Every structure is written in structure tokens, then in C-alpha cells.
């Protein structure tokens, strides 16, 4: 997780259940040494065991997908066999990048509304920020005394 992602509106506005669902998907991602993004399988039971309210698992994953933090490939059920949903974190590369470096798989940055890839540190340099600090005047009354 990058600092830009954690400071984004998409991340900061997540509900409690969506936060827990995201961290459960991250746990699954890390447990595969970050090599299986796009093929992450987290069951309904795993979400509940991590603390997502049972009846809101679909809402939590739907919120994450709506905000562009994850992509979900819906599984199918029928004939007595179930195919689970697979998850992809959009803020990090996926397994395709490691298999075929020339063909996609890079992070999609869908959670950013600006549509630009983060350039790293977007904070002002220290000289500019120290100058801004000097201009502030704390402790002065709001209205001048007459």
C-alpha cells in the first residue's frame, strides 16, 4: 500500500466492513508472497472470521469494487460444484506482470479520481513548507481591537 493510496478519498471513505474486507484480501495477497494478485480467493467464511458482518460481505466487496480498489471476477455455482470469486487489488501489479513482463499486469490506479499515476512524494519541498509555516500567525485575535 502506498501513502498516496492511504491518503486517497477512496480509502479514507471506506466503511468499517469494507476496511476489514480489504485487509482480509491483503492478508490473502501477502500469504501468497504477493505473487497471485488477480487470482486471490477469499471465501465468505474467511470474511466473516476476520470480522466482516455476515450479511454485509457482498456490500463490502461491492463498495471496494465501486471505489476501484479491487476487481472481482464472479465465480459460478451449479451442478454441486462452486467456483469462488477471485479478487485483484488494483493498487499493485498482478501475476501477469511476473509471467509476461511485456504484456500488462501493472497496477491500474483505478482508485484515483484524477486519472494520473502518482509520481511519488506529492508533498511540497521543505523550503516551501517552512516558508509557509513562517507566514502563519498563531495566537493573534481574530478581530483587531478597536
Domain-by-domain residue ranges, the chain?
3-116
CB 94 within 8 Å of CB 105? yes
Q: What is the mean pLDDT of residues 17-33?
A: 93
Average pLDDT over residues 133-141: 49
Q: Does pLDDT of 82 surpass 90?
A: no
Give this prediction's pTM: 0.66
Return d(Cα 87, Cα 72) in angstroms, integer: 5
**What pLDDT sits at residue 55?**
93
Q: Which residue has the higher pLDDT, 137 or 71?
A: 71
Q: How far does Cα 92 stand from its chain's mean position?
A: 9
Q: What gap in Å lies between CA 135 and CA 34, rounded to an integer?
A: 46
* CATH classification (class only), 3-116: mainly alpha
Is the pLDDT reported for residue 146 higher than 80? no
Amino acid at each position: 500500500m502506498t501513502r498516496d493510496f492511504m491518503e486517497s478519498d477512496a480509502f479514507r471513505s471506506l466503511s468499517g466492513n469494507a476496511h476489514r474486507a480489504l485487509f482480509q484480501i491483503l492478508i490473502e495477497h501477502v500469504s501468497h508472497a504477493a505473487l497471485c494478485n488477480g487470482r486471490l480467493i477469499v471465501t465468505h467464511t474467511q470474511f466473516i472470521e476476520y470480522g466482516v458482518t455476515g450479511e454485509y460481505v457482498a456490500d463490502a466487496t461491492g463498495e471496494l469494487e465501486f471505489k476501484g480498489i479491487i476487481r472481482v471476477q464472479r465465480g459460478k455455482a451449479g451442478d454441486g460444484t462452486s467456483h469462488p470469486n477471485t479478487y485483484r487489488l488494483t493498487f499493485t501489479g498482478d501475476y501477469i506482470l511476473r509471467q509476461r513482463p511485456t504484456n500488462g499486469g501493472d497496477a491500474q490506479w483505478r482508485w484515483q479520481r484524477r486519472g494520473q499515476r502518482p509520481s511519488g512524494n506529492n508533498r511540497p519541498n521543505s523550503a516551501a513548507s517552512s516558508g509557509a509555516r513562517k507566514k502563519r500567525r498563531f495566537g493573534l485575535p481574530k478581530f483587531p481591537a478597536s
